[in-house]
Amino acid sequence: MSECVVGDGVDLIDLASKFGTPLLVYDLGKIEKNYRAIKEALGAKVLYSIKANSNIAILTFLRKLGSGADVASPGEIFLALKSGFKPSDVLYTGAYLSNDDIKYGIDAGVTLNFDSRRTFERALSLGYKPELVFFRIDLGYGVGFHPGVTLAGEESKFGMLLNDAVEAYRLAKQVGVTEFGIHAMMGSNVLDPGYFLKIAELLRNAANFIESEVGINIRYFDMGGGFGIPYKPGEKPLDLNALINLRNFFHGELWIEPGRFIVGDAGYLLTKVTEVKRKGNKTYVGVDVGMNVLLRPMLYGAYHEIIKCGDGDDEVVTVDIVGPICENTDKIAVNRAMPKIKEGDVLVILNAGAYVYSMSSNYNGRLRPAEVIVYKNDYAISRFREDFDVLIRGQVIPTFI
């Protein structure tokens, strides 16, 4: 099926015409397929990582499929509970949390995963009396497509080294905790199954050491996320069959936190060509979406495949596809071979389901796009396009001005 048709025959060009551009479209059928595939392959408890895409229609859909939620802030706790997740199915993994952040999690009744012993101590001082507690461990090994998403070692701000973890678990035991989990999140968008098997081995070894040192039994083993999707042509998808050995690998229950793997390839960012400009030897294709919506290429140098919908053209040209933001870094694609493009054409940016809207902003006074959900042959708005009132919402002019 053409990438310009999603679900059971819903045409993206028609959606662009009906709802305008820029427009984000999510295919719930793909989301369901991805969720079931990873859950069944690993036999794990799935906690969807809300940071990837926090659209409450998607959250509600995943909750109905049986997913739990991985959250990183009070705001994400709020979204999870609003979407119907039970507090017991929400794991709160924050970093350098304020006391207010900690208190919000305690009051919400979610399970807390502590990034440091000190954060746990502050939670105890706030009246925290958990039966179950998790600690995030830095196993010293990580892989990511960019240094900013490699989450292990002394240069990573996350987690605690093994000796510090032993002291954290020892304190938890002393204050009456009876159930224990261990967590490790070491990288992002990894396509090599061998990486996950290595993390599992390191995590099991760390748990065994902690158990012997502290005299506890760790029941829950959370390998975090990092399950990748191919972005570039020629990249092979993650082979879930190679991860079957993770079933029953631990002496307790396996938890995972996929985000991108579930929603990434289910998202389509539709944008209209506003201008084609020749400047010396360069051809710039201007579009109506910028880095305020799609930040990943500017932040990480990330690649997104882009296709042209509508009438085909055999001529191929090399262009830079750029947005309307007043920054020269506002380039979605550089030196990209594309079919010949003209003003008014609709382009579709693929793999836009993860870390697109969730990383968007109103920079340059630009508005965030609408979001449309597609399921089979049905579709509906799930978030309305912003209007200019959003730019002044919550602001006041002091009387002394």
Same domain, 49 and 162: yes
- Judge whether 227 lies within some domain: yes
Interatomic CA distance for residues 66 and 47, integer angstroms? 9
pTM of the predicted model over 0.85: yes
Same domain, 179 and 326: no
- Judge whether 344 lies within some domain: yes
- Angle, helices 74-82 vs 56-65, to 10°: value is 60
Which residue, 220, 235, 264, sits at the end of a domain? Answer: 264
How does pLDDT run across 5-32, given as a tens digit for each residue?
A: 999 999 999 999 999 999 999 999 999 9
Same domain, 352 and 297: yes
Same domain, 241 and 328: no
Which residue, 264, 288, 317, sits at the end of a domain? Answer: 264
pLDDT at position 314? 75
Q: Which of 1, 326, 337, 392 is catalytic?
A: 326
Confidence at 1, pLDDT banded by 50, 70, 90: very low
| Number of Cβ atoms within 10 Å of the Cβ of 273 | 19
- Judge whether 2 lies within some domain: no
How does pLDDT run across 82-107, given as a tens digit for each residue?
A: 999 999 999 999 999 999 999 999 99
pLDDT at position 149? 47
Same domain, 117 and 248: yes
Structural domain span for residue 143: 28-264
Same domain, 193 and 92: yes
- Judge whether 399 lies within some domain: no
Mean pLDDT for the stretch of residues 363-391: 98
Same domain, 297 and 206: no
Same domain, 252 and 169: yes
Above pLDDT 90, what percent of the chain?
92
Position 146 pLDDT exceeds 90: no
- Judge whether 114 lies within some domain: yes
The SS3 assignment for 267 reads strand
Least confident interval from 36-50, 136-150, 166-180, 270-284: 136-150
Q: Is the dihedral of CA 93, 94, 97, 103 positive or negative?
A: negative
Interatomic CA distance for residues 299 and 287, integer angstroms? 19
Beta strands in 132-281 (DSSP E): 132-136, 179-183, 218-222, 253-256, 267-279
Position 144 pLDDT exceeds 60: no
How does pLDDT run across 295-350, given as a tens digit for each residue?
A: 999 998 999 999 998 766 678 999 999 999 999 999 999 999 999 999 999 999 99
Look at phi and psi of residue 215 and say left if phi exceeds 0, alpha if psi is from -120 to 50, else beta.
left
Mean pLDDT for the stretch of residues 231-255: 96
CATH assignment of the domain containing 316: 2.40.37.10
Contact predicate 31/262, CB 8 Å: yes
Contact predicate 382/353, CB 8 Å: no
Same domain, 124 and 256: yes
Same domain, 71 and 54: yes
Interatomic CA distance for residues 354 and 266, integer angstroms? 9
pLDDT at position 187? 82
Query: How many folded domains does the chain comprise?
Result: 2
Residue 211, C-beta contacts closer than 8 angstroms, at least 6 positions apart: 217, 218
Q: 326 catalytic, yes or no?
A: yes
CATH assignment of the domain containing 62: 3.20.20.10
User: What residues pair up with 272 in beta bridges, in sequence order?
Assistant: 346
Same domain, 254 and 277: no
Look at phi and psi of residue 60 and say left if phi exceeds 0, alpha if psi is from -120 to 50, else beta.
alpha
- Judge whether 342 lies within some domain: yes
- Judge whether 398 lies within some domain: no
- Judge whether 367 lies within some domain: yes
For residue 303, give the nearest of 359, 231, 237 by alpha carbon. 231
Which residue, 227, 249, 264, sits at the end of a domain? Answer: 264
3-state helix vs strand vs coil in the chain, percent to 5: 35, 25, 40
Same domain, 63 and 159: yes
Above pLDDT 70, what percent of the chain?
96
